[in-house]
Amino acid sequence: MNGRPIEIHPDLQAASRRAAELFVEIARQSIKRDERFDLALSGGSTPRLLYTLLGSEFSSEIDWNRTHLFWADERCVPPDDEESNYRMVHETLLARAPIPISNVHRMRGEEDPNRAAAEYEALLRAHFRGLPRFSLILLGMGADGHTASLFPYSPALDERERLTIATYVEKLKAMRLTLTLRSINNAAHVIFLVAGAEKAPALRAVFDEKTDARSIPAKLVAPTDGDLLWVVDRAAASLLAE
């Protein structure tokens, strides 16, 4: 469909299980090829079940010692704040999975945002020895079409040099830290997990060639040398053309 592969599952539970299976497969392939699995996760509520599955039922299928965990974006709050994406991943996944703490690379939401973004960029450059090539980035999409913390019409969408930036989000009246499209689109695999009827109009816009991509930033995610897959539930897909 419009060059963007999509799988439609009955509900969030089925979509999450499928995403967990894909995760395991991509982790295996990456470790076989590169001896490591470099992963970036998103926040929000949709992936809670997926992360819980990865930390429990699927955990023994993943070589956590060779997994390096990064974040696609973070809110500018301390790591124990209710809003923190680190906290969400900790509660659902890190508290269960035996991933070495030295393999967990969080964005420091409690610091000055510009400094935190620059530090994360330096960390990425050191880990990847240059431009990051994540094995897998798991993304979500807001009802307004934002992904990571790349919001509609934000100047952040035009960033071509930086790997990570601090960006002011007008509708939230808050700063966020986010990977840029430069980092995201260099990944080997990108999977979107999207569920719920409130996401249906944005999902239709992503798959509608005529929509201005700047109004739906998720549409700007197109790995240059990697695979993209949308894993969605039926409710989110309800407005897609047959």
Q: Which range in 8-16, 43-51, 57-65, 106-114 contacts ligand 6PG by CB under 6 A? A: 43-51
Rank residues 44 and 223 by Cβ distance to ligand 6PG and give the closer one.
44
Rank residues 73 and 233 by Cβ distance to ligand 6PG and give the closer one.
73
Question: For residue 105, what are the contacts with CB-CB under 8 A and spacing of at least 6?
Answer: 68, 69, 70, 71, 120, 123, 127
- In angstroms, the first-to-last Cα distance of the chain is 9
Q: Which range in 20-28, 37-45, 117-125, 225-233 contacts ligand 6PG by CB under 6 A? A: 37-45
43 makes contact with ligand 6PG (CB under 6 A): yes
223 makes contact with ligand 6PG (CB under 6 A): no
Site residue total, ligand 6PG (CB under 6 A): 14
* Residue in 20, 38, 40, 46 binding ligand 6PG, rule: CB under 6 A: 46
Binding mask 182-221 for ligand 6PG (x = CB under 6 A): ----------------------------------------
73 makes contact with ligand 6PG (CB under 6 A): yes
* Residue in 4, 31, 44, 66 binding ligand 6PG, rule: CB under 6 A: 44
Q: Which range in 27-35, 38-46, 115-123, 205-213 contacts ligand 6PG by CB under 6 A? A: 38-46
DSSP 12: H
Q: Are 92 and 60 in contact (CB under 8 A)?
A: no
* Cα distance between residue 25 and residue 30, in whole Å: 9
42 makes contact with ligand 6PG (CB under 6 A): yes
Exposed, middle or buried, 78 (CB in 10 Å: 0-12/13-18/19+)?
middle
* Cα distance between residue 68 and residue 76, in whole Å: 22
Q: Are 193 and 50 in contact (CB under 8 A)?
A: yes
Q: Which range in 56-64, 114-122, 137-145, 228-236 contacts ligand 6PG by CB under 6 A? A: 137-145
Amino acid at 185: N
Residues between 145 and 184 that touch ligand 6PG (CB under 6 A): 146-148
Q: Are 7 and 18 in contact (CB under 8 A)?
A: yes
Q: Report in angstroms the alpha-carbon separations of 152 from 70, 149, 155, 202, 236.
A: 24, 10, 9, 11, 19
Residues near ligand 6PG, by CB under 6 A: 42-46, 72-73, 85, 140-142, 146-148
